[in-house]
Amino acid sequence: MKIIIFLSLLVFSMNVEGRYHFHKNQKKASSDHPPNASIPQPQPQPQPPVYPPSVPSDPGSAPTDPGEDTDSGPCVFDVTDYGAIGDGSTDDTPAFKAAWKDACAVASATVLVPSGCTFMITSTIFSGPCKPGLVFQVDGILTPPAGPDCWPEKDSKKQWLVFYKLDNMTLTGTGTIEGNGQDWWDLPCKPHRGPGGSTLPGPCDSPTLIRFFMSSNLHLSGLRIQNSPMFHVKFDGCEGVMIDKVSISSPKLSPNTDGIHIENTKSVGIYNSMIGNGDDCISIGPGCINVDIEGVTCGPSHGISIGSLGVHNSQACVSNITVSNVIIRDSDNGVRIKTWQGGAGSVTGIAFENIQMENVRNCAIIDQYYCANKNCENQTSAVYVRDISFRNIKGTYDVRSPPIHFACSDSVACTNITMSEVELLPFEGELVDDPFCWNAYGVQETLTIPPIDCLQDGMPQSVSDEGVYECS
């Protein structure tokens, strides 16, 4: 099975990269970012692998049309040929829509956003189906209207750039997608950190910058994406996603600005990217299967999170997630699983390995009591959490919180947790030697630093009916 997955990924990658003269080099994390990039550069440790990761990114490449002339070069549809001005204030939406419509009808076509200009477009859905191999290439600057006061009344305030019902499509380029998020972050209904660690009211509608919806065989690479009003990039209802060498950034205190969010999406690879923002670096929602995250540097951020899951007594199913060769620095969390009380479903087959922590609070956390407003009632049902491994997790932690925190449901224990080569020392101050565990069961293959004596051996004496929590 792994051989089939690997060959599918290789075919898809060669198809995309050959079109751009874009060559992967996974021996080290990419440093191909703008000179003024504000995200810290990765350190030599840990190193990404020298082989292509084996996560599927191409569940089924579209066949070549027998009548297609494969010898001719790709057709380029430059938005300026359709009347786009590129002065940063003129509404260039009609030109983009016209260029997209023509490119959509041609195999291996490119919608070109040329360098040297700033193009402003309003909330737009670029929909398919289109001919296979369509490329949206941003070499200039692409931006939405400047804040909520300039947002057209007829447009959705929940999304800006949407790609819908597409197959074998690429978003790439050497340019920048600028979100103009500051005025959105300053809205009085947004959650903000108040005095003494308190949180002021929120949230309210703000647009996700880029959304891929009900699409397959997608490739996102090369771009700088910054200052989103809300999530920077979101994948919803997709299958076969490759994200490689992207730079995502927003200020540390910008609210709800997750870097990459995926939900109801299968077969995802996120590689060699730099993400710094005011919320989760990468967040994995319900319905996600087979996700590989490798060679990513996060920080500042809220870390890499699975969840939150099970809100409003919903069912959530997440499985086969690997996070490896990652650096997380100056973040509120490291690697995290968070679920609401009252949910159902399961989180299984999660591997966190070869991760370097630098001044991180809550380096390793499982929280089955997640509550956004701190006024949640206790409930007995829970999302089942099992088969979670933490291997070679090393570095420094912020002593304001214990570096390891496993708070599992009273009624549904976390089981089969594996700890191996976990060595976490204070960034500054004295060693905190009391990791927290509640109803958590597993094994320590090696002694951890600090010791995690609270992890219980074996399995609980009474385990609830697992069938209630399993996902089909």
Q: Which residues are catalytic?
A: 302
Strand partners, 442: 417
**Nearest partner of 199 among 186, 190, 187, 211, judged by Cα:** 190
Geometric angle at alpha carbon 204, from 201 and 209, rounded to 5°:
130
Is the Cβ–Cβ distance between 86 and 117 less than 8 Å? Answer: yes
Is the Cβ–Cβ distance between 303 and 279 less than 8 Å? Answer: no
What is the spatial distance between Cα 167 and Cα 162, in angstroms, rounded to a whole number? 14
What φ, ψ does residue 10 adopt, rounded to 5°? -65, -40
**Nearest partner of 4 among 77, 54, 41, judged by Cα:** 54
Is the Cβ–Cβ distance between 419 and 450 less than 8 Å? Answer: no
HSE of 205, CA atoms in CB hemisphere, 13 A? 8
